[in-house]
Structure 1
Amino acid sequence: MKSVIGLVVGLAIATQATATELILYPVQIGSETVRYRTGIPTLNLETASGSVTVTPLPLDHNHATFGVAVYNKADNSVNFGVENVTATIAGKPIPVLSREELQRRAKNRAAWSMVGIALLSGVAAAAVSTAHTTSQSYGNIRTPHGTYFWSSSYRDNSLGAVAAGATVAAGTAGIVGVQNRLDYTLGTLATDILQTTTIDPDNSYGGIVVIEKPSGIAAPYDVTVSMHLNGVEYPFTFRLTEQGKNKPAPFTEAAFGNHPRLSHSTPAPVPPTIAPATSSLPSQSVPASSLPPPAASSS
């Protein structure tokens, strides 16, 4: 029994040890612009008929996942959904997963989680039992990682049986918790996954897009996801690789769509022009006879 427990625990540790943290890095392939927020890039492409932005999201079980938003600049309404999204990996088409497919997989993952909890619960219950041959049980269980065989024995009114019962109860509580998380996940998928929606002129819509994980291709690899809106293709490429490794070349300065700082300085006011003062009285001529005679000069 201890060997069975060790096998299960060892499998969990080995799975954690071999898991690598993968991340999506943007790759510049054209005239797209990029902006960053707390280290997360958002790419944008804009044409006369629309605008599309794509943001890489945390991977869903190593599936490339993106947040997509589109803006309709055309004069007519347009439908947009998963059917308007295509993807390629290493130049080969790769499926874009629908909401229904993602919900089916979410249920399956939850089922395997429940099986795992039940298996560990049963193994632990058998391990704490002090019975010998009073009541023997044998069985096997298949998982995605192989088939495991187990056996257990119980004796009524023993402390071991009480402990085993408590362990089984804890396992049942764990399964209920998994079911609750599944319900939440399915509800989120129903609202967040990109689905066919009519976008009126000057309106936008967005959702989550999940790309199928390729078989036989190991990271790093480049995945190109393209949106098709109003007859125009908007392609974006990302490199899926281990964090900090095999990073693509940085984007050019032009890709940042930089805008020069606007000058807010106010010019000095121009002083008003002051005209010379003029008399408002009319000018009068003085007769020469009225002027005093000039003074006589001494010789």
Structure 2
Amino acid sequence: MKIVHGIAIAAICFGAVPAEAADLILYPIQSGPETIRYRTGIPTLNIETATGSVTVTPLPLDHNHATFAVAVYNKGDDSVNVGIENVTASIGQNEIPVLSREELQKRAKSRAAWSMVGLALLSGVAAAAASTAHTTDHYYGNVRTPRGTYSWATSYRDNSLGVLAATGAVAAGTAGIVGIQNRLEYTLGTLATDILQTTTVDPDNSYGGVVVIEKPSGVRIPYDVTLTVHFNGADYPFTFRMTEQGKNKPPAFSQSALGNRHRAPADPSATGAPVSTASASSDSLPPPAASSS
């Protein structure tokens, strides 16, 4: 009964976890001078001004937080700083916080801590349940003595199977926690290098990083979010729709927004093709001048 009860508790605790949310995606919306290009289905938006160029690519969501890759190019004459302090996000008239590297690291540690607690709890429940497993053997016999024959009965409870199972469950839990710690270290290292941080961009140089914005509370999906990069004296707004994949897709970008690169005129001499050197025909020559006598 104890085994069944322990397993029931585990099922209740972990069965209460909500079902995984539907897959969400960020679809780009044409709203201004941006151009769009695709690479293996992933869109990249670009806005050009006299002082700079900014590109934004939507990335897979981080725990349903809108996430972007942002890159800037300095076309000005002077060096300029850029970081998350140059990025704002809004839904309608409401501004949404852009998360700093420190905040993201803090949340990554918190998520890892909860995963460790959950894994430790699960392995503990499994160990407790397994430790109650046992085999019991009963032994009976008769002993003859000079004073008579006596009957005896005893039992022996072998708990080694339960101990082995509990040890295995604890070992698996420990290995899982170590794996979480390793992944956390990798995540924190990635955040330290990939998140957009204040950097000086010299003329004719570029810089880029990842931007994550806060998940809005009380806002129903779908919603449109605008990410604006303030760089070198100009604003670069990009708008995306957060929605379930394949649903509520915004209209496709116009042909003029594709940022077409036109084919350069062919140079016949570059291909080795013969170039005509024929002179004009006699019909096109002016008549000879009359001679004076």
- 1:5 Cα deviation after fit: 2.2
Q: What is the percent sequence identity of the aligned residues?
A: 69
The aligned residue for residue 15 of structure 1 is 19
Runs of 5+ unmatched residues, structure 2 = 1-5, 135-156, 282-293
- Which of 108, 111, 119 is equivalent to 1:109? 111
Equivalenced residues, count: 251
Partner Cα separation in structure 2 for residue 227 and residue 175 of structure 1: 39
Task: State whether residues 130 and 158 of structure 1, in contact with CA within 8 Å, keep that contact through their aligned partners in structure 2.
Answer: no
Task: State whether residues 77 and 199 of structure 1, in contact with CA within 8 Å, keep that contact through their aligned partners in structure 2.
Answer: yes
Which residues of 2 match residues 217-236 of structure 1 at below 5 A?
217-236=219-238
The TM-score with structure 1 as length reference comes to 0.79
Task: State whether residues 34 and 47 of structure 2, in contact with CA within 8 Å, keep that contact through their aligned partners in structure 1.
Answer: yes
Partner Cα separation in structure 1 for residue 267 and residue 201 of structure 2: 42
Moved more, 87-96 or 252-261: 252-261
Partner Cα separation in structure 2 for residue 191 and residue 49 of structure 1: 26
Partner Cα separation in structure 2 for residue 201 and residue 274 of structure 1: 52
- Which of 42, 46, 49 is equivalent to 1:47? 49
- Which of 242, 260, 275 is equivalent to 1:269? 275
Task: State whether residues 56 and 71 of structure 2, in contact with CA within 8 Å, keep that contact through their aligned partners in structure 1.
Answer: yes
Task: Spell out, residue by residue over 1:95-154, the C-alpha distance to the aligned partner (whole angstroms, 9 max, x if none).
Answer: 00000000000000000010110011011112222269xxxxxxxxxxxxxxxxxxxxxx
Moved more, 182-191 or 265-274: 265-274
The SS at the match of 1:227 is strand
Distance 1:227 1:156, change over 3 A: farther
For the aligned residue pairs, the C-alpha RMSD in angstroms reads: 2.1
Task: State whether residues 64 and 210 of structure 1, in contact with CA within 8 Å, keep that contact through their aligned partners in structure 2.
Answer: yes
Partner Cα separation in structure 2 for residue 178 and residue 271 of structure 1: 75
- Which of 2, 10, 16 is equivalent to 1:5? 10
The aligned residue for residue 249 of structure 1 is 251
Partner Cα separation in structure 2 for residue 105 and residue 246 of structure 1: 30
Q: What amino acid does structure 2 have at the position aligned with 1:15?
A: A
Partner Cα separation in structure 2 for residue 244 and residue 234 of structure 1: 27
Partner Cα separation in structure 1 for residue 96 and residue 158 of structure 2: 57
Task: State whether residues 133 and 161 of structure 2, in contact with CA within 8 Å, keep that contact through their aligned partners in structure 1.
Answer: no
The SS at the match of 1:60 is coil
Runs of 5+ unmatched residues, structure 1 = 133-154, 276-299
Task: State whether residues 7 and 126 of structure 2, in contact with CA within 8 Å, keep that contact through their aligned partners in structure 1.
Answer: no
Partner Cα separation in structure 2 for residue 227 and residue 117 of structure 1: 41
- 1:263 Cα deviation after fit: 3.6
